[in-house]
Chains A and B, each alone.
Chain A
């Protein structure tokens, strides 16, 4: 499945900030790591702020901080701030009222259901653990594993 770019950016930003909630990072710092334009990321951060997941800190060292609960916030929670996952226009799409259309909708609904169940069961904390696991795998294959965490 594909996520809209805003959802991807939001997940990256949340992971970056939630990995160290004490740390403040600017939009530019986050954007630089993932090759994202600050302009686009700023909009995403604004939305995350409205959802109570991040807070902007003012001052010279200002930036964003994660203020959500990483054990309670799921990937689905984040993604649904930006897109209506699984929302299909099948019921009004051409052929939707035919048996073929209904059969197609049934199959696509199964896929959507699985996607929602998966994303709704993975918290930010769980995703951070997966990131750590990826780092450890990288450490197993790279001599300078600390670079992969940079």
Chain B
């Protein structure tokens, strides 16, 4: 009967949770719209937080990108270097007050071994929604799971959104993806006020 509460990507082997897994723009919401800055963060410099396991959560760096690509490929089975380079440019370099691309790395050691990453941004007025934080990518190294890394990444980006003045954060999970739902539910997320609709065009 029991199912384990997962960290994203764990249960499907090579198929991880990543709303951006498609080659182009499969974002959690329908479209990406450039928006004015909502708030200013106090600093763009690295913000670090160390956990019990000697974990550091910090903004992504250019040197991390190959490792992000490798981690994503290991989980999804698809190499998407162009996509992640673009994601780094968009979410790792631009508008740091409202776009957050965070990575989890060992607190000690000089290597840049990425244990996990999370990406999100503040969006406003899509579908009539007031500004809120959206999380649309979260991956954890399969070898490093069950150590709370996903949770630390989630908590870290939650704090970024909170510091940016957001009172709400959202994500989207496939309805039949029970284990990913378990993770986000376990972090306190509940169903939101929107219903995703789609139409078969074929």
Instruction: Please list the residues of chain A having a beta carbon within 8 angstroms of any beta carbon in chain B.
Output: 51-52, 68-69, 71-74, 77, 113-114, 117-118, 120-123, 125-126, 129
Contacts and interface: CB of A to CB of B under 8 A. Distances in A.
A114 B195 CA distance: 11
Interface residues of B, number: 15
Nearest to A133: B188
Contacts of A113: 175
Contacts of B176: 117
Given A117-B176, A117-B181, A120-B178, A51 B1 contact: yes
Interface string B170-199: 000001101001101110100100000000
A12 B145 CA distance: 32
Contact of B181 (A52, A69, A120, A129): A120
A73 B1 CA distance: 7
Nearest to A118: B191
B175 A72 contact: no
A123 B5 contact: yes
A80 to B, nearest CB: 9
Contacts of A74: 3, 178, 182
Given A122-B185, A123-B186, A68 B178 contact: no
The 7 A-B residue pairs with the shortest CB-CB distance in the complex, in nearest-first order? A121-B181, A72-B2, A117-B175, A121-B185, A77-B1, A120-B178, A126-B185
Contacts of B182: 74, 121, 123, 126
- B interface secondary structure, majority: loop
B4 interface: yes
Contacts of B175: 113-114, 117
Nearest to B184: A121
Nearest to A70: B2
A73 B4 CA distance: 8
A71 B175 CA distance: 20
Contacts of B2: 68-69, 72-73, 77
